Amino acid sequence: MDFLQAYTVRINEGLEGINLPSKPSNLYDPLRYFFTLGGKRVRPILTLLAAEKFIGTDSETDALNAALAVEIFHNFSLVHDDIMDEAPVRRGQQTVHKKWNTNIAILSGDVMLVKAYQYLNSYPAATAKKLIDVFNKTAIEVCEGQQLDMDFEKRSTVGQEEYIEMISLKTSVLLGCALQFGAIVGGADTNAQNALYGYGLNMGVGFQIQDDLLDLYGNPELVGKQVGGDIITNKNTLLMVIAKREANEEQLNTLETLLKETNNVKKIEGVLSLFKILNVEEKCRELMNLFYNKAEVHLDKVELKSDKSGLWSLTELLKSRSY
């Protein structure tokens, strides 16, 4: 998708152009490091697309600061989440708390969050207030999602509804927020703002479900990581949530035994075979498509000044990935 390339370049240039003091270096070096680690920049691209393609081309430049705020916030949440998840690697490089230490990761994450507000508050007062209202709500929801995710890790069963709520809060609301930002900056009315938000929210849920599916059913050559990684680590994915709900007592016992299996190949094969009996993949795909369809219904509602091709292309790109 060549048209996305230009957006990615602008976001990366924007991130590199952020004026950070040299001192204290232990506070600002992690920001410089993390902002240039790369990443798909999906969220800020959504903001630029919503502003430019949907509302009117004139607003394109203006949307950059809102787009950067979204990406900076996303980076903040990754830095803090990586501490909580004890993740050593992010985007192929050391995480901030590994490269420096936990204290530095906490504090530089805090500064990132404030920086996001600086970019939002760079707009004229009325626009800034609207952006910050949406942002506050979203930021709190993302924290709630992360807390639910941590809570769920300690539980053996999680319901489908609460699982969907968790992924919705943890990741999808920020996609909705990113699109709504573009609409706000582009001067769209409340209906269009809400429709774009709904599109992003539902796309995000679909996308996350797809993530769960791809881990087990994706093309291993394209995924670039071990197939069934979620199974090996006993992660509560939607697949597992559905399986536990659909299983009878005997199948539940089989599953419990499999979760303790130390031979990974045997473990994955066993789980795959049980998932097949329980129609887990199919049920999961149905749910994914339900959210993708909901997303499209929202997008249909938006009246545009420009054509929808940009966002449709992005949608298709996200949906069609087999890795």
Binding site for a second copy (CB under 8 A): 21, 24, 26-27, 80, 83-84, 102-104, 106-107, 109-111, 113-115, 117-118, 121, 125-126, 128-129, 132-133, 136, 139-140, 143-144, 146-148, 150-151
Q: Which is nearer to a second copy, 21 or 92 (CB)?
A: 21
Q: Which is nearer to a second copy, 54 or 76 (CB)?
A: 76
Residue with tokens 């069963």: 157
Q: At a CB cut-off of 8 Å and minimum separation 6, what does 20 contact?
A: 28, 31, 32
User: Are residues 286 and 313 in contact, defined by beta-carbon separation less than 8 angstroms?
Assistant: no
Q: 107 burial class (0-12, 13-18, 19+ CB within 10 angstroms)?
A: middle
Q: Which is nearer to a second copy, 125 or 265 (CB)?
A: 125
Sign of CA dihedral 298, 300, 305, 309: positive
| DSSP track, 129-165 | HHHHHHHHHHHHHHHHHHHHHHHHHT-S---HHHHHH
Q: Please report how close the Cβ of residue 211 comes to a second copy at its closest, in angstroms.
A: 22
Residue with tokens 């129609």: 279
Q: Please report how close the Cβ of residue 207 comes to a second copy at its closest, in angstroms.
A: 23
Q: Which is nearer to a second copy, 24 or 220 (CB)?
A: 24
Identity of the amino acid at 161: E
Q: Please report how close the Cβ of residue 21 comes to a second copy at its closest, in angstroms.
A: 8
Q: Residue 53: which of 314, 305, 315, 318 has the closest Cα?
A: 305
Q: Which is nearer to a second copy, 189 or 256 (CB)?
A: 189
Q: Which is nearer to a second copy, 147 or 234 (CB)?
A: 147
Q: Which is nearer to a second copy, 106 or 290 (CB)?
A: 106
Identity of the amino acid at 281: E
Q: At a CB cut-off of 8 Å and minimum separation 6, what does 155 contact?
A: 236
Q: Please report how close the Cβ of residue 133 comes to a second copy at its closest, in angstroms.
A: 6
Q: Please report how close the Cβ of residue 154 comes to a second copy at its closest, in angstroms.
A: 10
SS3 breakdown of the chain: % helix, strand, coil, rounded to 5? 75, 0, 20
Q: Please report how close the Cβ of residue 76 comes to a second copy at its closest, in angstroms.
A: 8
Q: Please report how close the Cβ of residue 223 comes to a second copy at its closest, in angstroms.
A: 29
